[in-house]
Amino acid sequence: MSARQTYRGFCHCGRVSFELDAKLDYVMECNCSLCRKVGALWHGASDSSLRITGESELTLYQFNTMTAKHYSCRNCGVHPFSRPRLDPKRWAVNVRCIDAIDISALPLKRFDGANWEEAAKALHAQRN
């Protein structure tokens, strides 16, 4: 297991970057209608553990319940983070934007976002 450390991530063109303080002990794959096309692998983060540079380059995309906020770079189209519907006060950071890690070595969790209501209920039951 990796210790908590600071990771640097970038969109493809580099206009958007971030620093993430995290213990990267998992990545989460979601099969909702958006994530399955974006191909992101997510890790949760609080406001205080994510510092974003290049915010003016971001475009916002929302759909369905309009709860989640999906941000991508307006220049290269890469999708580095979202405010997830599961907890919109937090961030979901796309770990694929962090070049310096071996993603295949990280444990993969799956979130059944295609059946969001049931999956969210199950996750809450697990935590409580």
Which positions lie near Zn ion, rule CB under 5 A?
11, 13, 15, 73, 75-76
- In the complex with Zn ion, the residue whose CB is nearer, 18 or 42, is 18
DSSP secondary structure of 9-66: EE-SSSSSEEEEEE----EEEE-STTHHHHT--EEEE-GGGEEEE-GGGEEEE--TTS
19, 7 Cβ separation under 8 angstroms = yes
- Give 73 or 119: the residue with its C-beta nearer to Zn ion: 73
Residue 13 vs 45, nearer CB to Zn ion? 13
Q: Which is nearer to Zn ion, 91 or 111 (CB)?
A: 91
- Beta carbon of residue 113, minimum distance to Zn ion (angstroms, whole number): 25
* Number of neighbours of residue 122 by Cβ within 10 angstroms: 13
Nearest approach, Cβ of 11 to Zn ion (angstroms)? Answer: 3
Q: How many residues does the chain have?
A: 128
Shortest distance, position 17 Cβ to Zn ion, whole Å? 9
- Nearest approach in angstroms of CB 87 to Zn ion is 26
Number of residue whose CB is nearest Zn ion: 73
Phi, then psi, of 15 in degrees rounded to 5: -70, -30
